[in-house]
Amino acid sequence: MAPPRAYQCEAVTLKKFPLGEADLLVTLYTRERGKVRALARGARRSNSKLMGHFEPLTQVKLSLAQGRDLDHVVQAQVVSGFALLKGDLGAIAKGLYVAELVDGFGSESNPNQPLYRLVIEALHAIEAAPESDLPLRFFELHLLQVSGLMPELYRCVECRQTLTPGRHRFSPNLGGALCLDCNPTDARLRPLSLRTLKVLRLLHRTPIAELPALSMDAALARELKALLSTTIQYWLDKEIRSNSFLEHVHHVAGTEV
Ligand SMILES: [Zn+2]
């Protein structure tokens, strides 16, 4: 019988699930293969070499062996444990929200290196500015982009006219901004202020490490968050459970997301 085929990859752990007495079933987002579910045998034993390598939001280098049903972890080396992020409850909630969206949008048979890079960049940005919500908004918009779902921000999606400065509307299901003259019957319209449109364009064209420290008032932050999460939920077509967790953490902390 041929030995199991081995392969190397770099990955971030999205979630883990205890299996049997000491094993872990882990969901990874890998740079090379997209989403991979793998078995880490004995990883819950305190003397295991794999112990602690598969906490969610840990970046690892891995050797895996292909199995008939599940791939098995052979070796693991931590690249970044995001220790600072994991020391802050609000930042953990944000990181788990990122992980859940990657689990939802990532595909098991379709590697997406821009998505992998985006996850790592977003986790570093959350770690660097745990109080700011801008890294999450950046992540949401760019998640849509690397998934081929980038909303139109420059022209009306219906009449294709260039948007002039002013108030507009936004339709998640029609794929972006609309001018005030267009009223397609199947659009799930929501308001789009000029301020929110400008922040969306800034998030789209600015690398995450170069984002300025924008001070957004509560109304602007709320509109931006609602627009992006409505769009994400429309595409994901299911409730984002960790988003509720995020709301809960911010509620407990007495701050607004
Ligand atoms: Zn129009």
What's the pLDDT tens digit per position in 27-69?
999 999 999 999 999 999 888 888 888 999 999 999 999 988 8
Question: In angstroms, what is the span from residue 140 Cα to ligand 1's centroid?
Answer: 25
Question: In angstroms, what is the span from residue 172 Cα to ligand 1's centroid?
Answer: 15
Summarize pLDDT for 175-220 with one digit per residue, the tens. Answer: 999 999 998 988 889 999 999 999 999 999 999 988 877 788 999 9
Question: In angstroms, what is the span from residue 157 Cα to ligand 1's centroid?
Answer: 7
Question: In angstroms, what is the span from residue 218 Cα to ligand 1's centroid?
Answer: 29
Of 55, 61, 95, the closest CA to residue 79 belongs to 61
Question: In angstroms, what is the span from residue 191 Cα to ligand 1's centroid?
Answer: 14
Whole-angstrom distance, CA of residue 166 vs CA of residue 224: 16
Question: In angstroms, what is the span from residue 203 Cα to ligand 1's centroid?
Answer: 23
Whole-angstrom distance, CA of residue 167 vs CA of residue 125: 31
Rounded mean pLDDT of 15-26?
93
Domains of the chain from N-terminus onward: 6-81 (2.40.50.140), 84-253 (1.20.1440.120)
- Angle CA 35–14–230, to nearest 5: 90
Question: In angstroms, what is the span from residue 201 Cα to ligand 1's centroid?
Answer: 19
Give percent above pLDDT 90 in the chain: 72
Question: In angstroms, what is the span from residue 257 Cα to ligand 1's centroid?
Answer: 32
Q: Which two tokens stand for residue 150?
A: 């980038």
Whole-angstrom distance, CA of residue 17 vs CA of residue 19: 6
Say yes or no to pLDDT of 239 above 50: no
Question: In angstroms, what is the span from residue 144 Cα to ligand 1's centroid?
Answer: 22
Question: In angstroms, what is the span from residue 21 Cα to ligand 1's centroid?
Answer: 60
Say yes or no to pLDDT of 243 above 80: no
Summarize pLDDT for 105-132 with one digit per residue, the tens. Answer: 998 878 999 999 999 999 999 999 999 9
pLDDT confidence of residue 253: 59
Question: In angstroms, what is the span from residue 186 Cα to ligand 1's centroid?
Answer: 14
Coil, strand or helix: which one is 171? strand
| Torsional sign, CA 239, 240, 241, 247 | negative
Say yes or no to pLDDT of 18 above 90: yes
Question: In angstroms, what is the span from residue 183 Cα to ligand 1's centroid?
Answer: 8
Question: In angstroms, what is the span from residue 230 Cα to ligand 1's centroid?
Answer: 21
44 Rama class: left (phi>0) / alpha (psi -120 to 50) / beta: alpha
Q: How confident is the model at residue 15 (pLDDT cuts 50, 70, 90)?
A: very high
Say yes or no to pLDDT of 254 above 60: no
Contacts of residue 188, defined as CB under 8 A and 6 or more positions apart, other chains included, come to 171, 172, 173, 230, 234
Of 79, 90, 80, 96, the closest CA to residue 129 belongs to 90
| CA distances from residue 255 to 98, 132, 190 in whole angstroms, order as listed | 20, 11, 25
Question: In angstroms, what is the span from residue 177 Cα to ligand 1's centroid?
Answer: 9
Say yes or no to pLDDT of 257 above 50: no
Question: In angstroms, what is the span from residue 197 Cα to ligand 1's centroid?
Answer: 15
Number of alpha carbons in the 13 Å side-chain half-sphere of residue 26: 34
pLDDT confidence of residue 3: 63
Question: In angstroms, what is the span from residue 196 Cα to ligand 1's centroid?
Answer: 18
